[in-house]
């Protein structure tokens, strides 16, 4: 599970660095791991599941008649436990990219792929090398705003840390903007399905966008705008920077507000300073803005006042249909100096070839990486290894156990098993795979992601993160009903968890993706007991050395979840149909554009 914020700070140097470059006189010491290890809040919404009796074996299979759902019949609990116990053992050292634990993890998963008789997906290799780059901005970065008109002759200097955070994704030792005109672009959104374009009629070449976080639906709580309070992709900070780059902006600065971001300025400061790990690209991210950043809210007010504007009023206008970007007539000058280091990690990918349509794919994915070892850990009782049993040995174990269950089923479509790296650093392995796919995205029918299955025991429900996304949910409903369970919509859609795990990087390329999690209504103990277990996990284990495997885990509920994914995968693998994003989905348009590639 990728935590709530930017990413866990990279406090440990890579093994096997290819080289380092720095614009610093003296490179900084690595920052301490000061990240707010903010726990995922327990699901507070009441479970919507009616209390129904657990089902015994269902009378009939799914619509295809190809399978019969018998609880836990296909996916072996012994497989699942064995993989978790191994991957989360101290010998794997917390599975950090660049560590000895990485080598052990890659060897183990590759060995399991081979043992299952799966084919390498990258030529004759199971490995897809993933080049990573770590950029650390010097803390003397700054941005100066020069007035014009009524504010001519005035200047406002914004200091790195308290006032502004700045960086560049360009892999360069220095990057800057000079005399770049500021343009207030509202939420900075281009969303054809909502008929919304904040950049309409403005040429951003050489200019710096000032952008609001989140989206108009959140800002107004108007359910008819975007998805109301539910976070859309357009509301995410990642999207803001990507869109500004597409518009050709030289600079892109988000104006912080605590409600819209869902975290305070202190969190922005700790999350976006220090080393920032990213996937490398052949062009060194030359397409990104020269300067990106966050500005503290009160500085947004000051900067707009220099242009004779009122941020509070602009916030309201920016959430109204027909809002137009506003060139401010004032300029920004500033830049950053970088320390750059490079390293290589790898995704692992294996194929179960399809018998009828081998060029079409169903994907099972899970991230293999975790946080490694701490130098010391207060309160850890001397344990310094982040074993990552739940996060995400369960996911890797899950796709391996599903692979074992599927391997003799002779599916019509091929099935790709993908274990991705560097999720904990910001979904980097899946991002790289998304941009460098080993099989066609257009011909990938569906992707199923497993990220941190909690060992709760059996539940009356199964949680669908990002509920309301695609037709895969209609099919899931059928199988869940056969298990005597109900679908539980994502209880906190405003947090946008759908965008915070690896399937998102396939969804971005149009692939219908499903991300399910354990339910919240235990057969034994109901919602109260599930919440108590969840609270305990977040307080003492999430992203801590205490996330360890125990043979006392009750994984019966997890096996039911895996069984659902197995049945979904088999159904998709034996179908000639293409699942669709629902109308209103951010990902529907790109899927439709690639439809022609699927014609047989
Ligand atoms: Zn995590």
- The pLDDT score that the predictor gives to residue 32 is 34
Tokens for 356, please give them: 């009828």
* Spatial distance between the Cα atoms of 359 and 217, rounded to a whole number of angstroms: 40
pLDDT tens digits for range 482-518: 999 999 999 989 888 999 999 999 999 999 999 999 9
Total number of domains constituting the chain: 2
Instruction: Please indicate, yes or no, whether residues 248 and 262 belong to a single structural domain of this protein.
Output: yes
Helices marked H in 141-220: 216-220
- Give the model's confidence band at 24: pLDDT under 50 very low, under 70 low, under 90 confident, else very high: low
Instruction: Please indicate, yes or no, whether residues 336 and 346 belong to a single structural domain of this protein.
Output: no
In angstroms, what is the span from residue 39 Cα to ligand 1's centroid? 10
In angstroms, what is the span from residue 424 Cα to ligand 1's centroid? 5
pLDDT beyond 80 at 369: yes
In angstroms, what is the span from residue 452 Cα to ligand 1's centroid? 8
| CATH code of the domain containing 264 | 3.50.30.30
Q: Could you write out the DSSP letters of every residue in 392-418?
A: IIHHHHHHHHHHHHHTTS--SEEEEEE
With respect to residue 450, please indicate whether it lies within any of the assigned structural domains: yes
In angstroms, what is the span from residue 8 Cα to ligand 1's centroid? 8
pLDDT beyond 60 at 70: no
In angstroms, what is the span from residue 1 Cα to ligand 1's centroid? 4
The model carries a pTM of 0.82
Bridge-based pairing state of the strands 444-449 and 513-518 = parallel
**C-beta of residue 491 within 8 angstroms of C-beta of residue 520:** yes
Angle, helix 311-318 to helix 297-306, in steps of 10 degrees: 100
* Spatial distance between the Cα atoms of 477 and 305, rounded to a whole number of angstroms: 53
Instruction: Please indicate, yes or no, whether residues 287 and 250 belong to a single structural domain of this protein.
Output: yes
* Spatial distance between the Cα atoms of 547 and 383, rounded to a whole number of angstroms: 11
Instruction: Please indicate, yes or no, whether residues 356 and 500 belong to a single structural domain of this protein.
Output: yes
* Spatial distance between the Cα atoms of 32 and 194, rounded to a whole number of angstroms: 43
Residue carrying structure tokens 């000032």: 210
Range of the domain at 392: 77-132+342-595
| H helix or E strand, kind and range, residue 381 | none
With respect to residue 2, please indicate whether it lies within any of the assigned structural domains: no
In angstroms, what is the span from residue 24 Cα to ligand 1's centroid? 31
Higher pLDDT, 68 or 186: 186
Among 292, 322, 341, residue at a domain's last position: 341
In angstroms, what is the span from residue 459 Cα to ligand 1's centroid? 23
In angstroms, what is the span from residue 391 Cα to ligand 1's centroid? 5
The stretch 131-139 carries a mean pLDDT of 93
Among 320, 341, 362, residue at a domain's last position: 341
Residue % of the chain over a pLDDT of 70 = 86
Quick one: how many helices (H) and strands (E) in the chain?
15, 20
pLDDT tens digits for range 393-437: 999 999 999 999 999 999 999 999 999 999 998 899 999 999 999
The stretch 27-46 carries a mean pLDDT of 34
In angstroms, what is the span from residue 530 Cα to ligand 1's centroid? 20
Determine the 3-state secondary structure of 533 from DSSP: helix
Helices marked H in 136-236: 216-220
């Amino acid at each position: 599970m990728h935590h709530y914020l930017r990413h866990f700070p990279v406090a440990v140097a890579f093994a096997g660095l290819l080289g380092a470059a720095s614009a610093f006189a003296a490179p900084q010491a690595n920052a301490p791991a000061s990240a707010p290890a903010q726990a995922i809040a327990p699901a507070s919404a009441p479970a919507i599941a009616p209390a129904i009796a657990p089902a015994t074996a269902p009378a009939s299979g799914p619509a295809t008649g190809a399978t019969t759902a018998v609880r836990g019949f296909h996916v072996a609990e012994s497989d699942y436990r064995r993989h978790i116990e191994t991957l989360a053992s101290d010998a794997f050292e917390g599975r950090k990219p660049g560590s000895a634990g990485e080598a052990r993890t890659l060897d183990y998963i590759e060995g399991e792929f081979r043992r299952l008789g799966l084919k390498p997906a990258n030529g004759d290799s199971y490995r897809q090398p993933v080049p990573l780059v770590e950029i650390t901005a010097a803390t003397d970065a700054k941005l100066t705003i020069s007035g014009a008109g009524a504010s001519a002759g005035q200047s406002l200097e914004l200091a790195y840390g308290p006032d502004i955070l700045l960086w560049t994704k360009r892999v360069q030792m220095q990057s800057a903007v000079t005399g770049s005109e500021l343009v207030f672009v509202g939420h900075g959104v281009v969303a054809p399905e909502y008929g919304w374009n904040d950049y309409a009629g403005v040429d951003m070449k050489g200019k710096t966008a000032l952008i609001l976080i989140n989206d108009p639906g959140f800002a107004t709580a108007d359910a008819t705008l975007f998805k109301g309070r539910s976070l859309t992709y357009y509301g995410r900070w990642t999207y803001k920077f990507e869109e500004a780059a597409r518009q050709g902006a030289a600079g892109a600065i988000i104006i912080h507000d605590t409600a819209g971001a869902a975290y305070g300025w202190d969190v922005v400061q700790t999350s976006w300073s220090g080393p920032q790990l990213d996937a490398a690209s052949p062009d060194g991210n030359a397409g990104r803005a020269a300067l990106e950043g966050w500005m503290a809210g009160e500085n947004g007010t000051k900067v707009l006042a220099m242009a004779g504007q009122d941020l509070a009023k602009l916030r309201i206008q920016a959430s109204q249909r027909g809002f137009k970007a506003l060139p401010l007539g004032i300029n920004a000058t500033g830049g950053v100096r970088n320390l750059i280091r490079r390293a290589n990690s790898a995704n692992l990918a294996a194929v179960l070839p399809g018998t009828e349509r081998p060029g079409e794919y169903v994907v099972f994915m899970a991230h293999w990486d975790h946080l490694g070892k701490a130098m010391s850990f207060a309160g850890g009782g001397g344990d310094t290894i982040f074993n990552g049993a739940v996060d995400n040995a369960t996911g890797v174990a899950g796709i391996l156990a599903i692979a074992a269950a599927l391997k003799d089923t002779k599916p019509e479509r091929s099935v790709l098993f993908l274990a991705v790296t560097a999720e904990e650093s910001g979904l980097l392995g899946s991002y790289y795979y998304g941009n460098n796919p080993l099989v066609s995205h257009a011909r990938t029918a569906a992707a199923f992601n497993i990220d941190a299955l909690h060992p709760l025991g059996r539940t009356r429900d199964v949680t669908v993160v990002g509920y309301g996304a695609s037709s895969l949910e209609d099919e899931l409903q059928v199988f869940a009903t056969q298990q005597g369970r109900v679908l539980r919509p994502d209880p906190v859609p405003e947090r946008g968890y759908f965008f915070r795990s690896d399937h998102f990087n396939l969804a971005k390329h149009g692939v219908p993706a499903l991300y399910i999690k354990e339910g919240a209504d235990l057969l034994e103990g109901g919602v109260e007991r599930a919440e108590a277990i969840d609270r305990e996990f977040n307080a003492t284990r999430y992203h801590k050395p205490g996330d360890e495997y125990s043979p006392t885990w009750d994984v019966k509920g997890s096996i039911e979840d895996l069984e659902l994914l197995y049945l979904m995968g088999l159904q998709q693998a034996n179908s000639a149909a293409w699942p669709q994003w629902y109308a209103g989905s951010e990902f529907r348009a790109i899927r439709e554009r690639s439809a022609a590639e699927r014609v047989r």
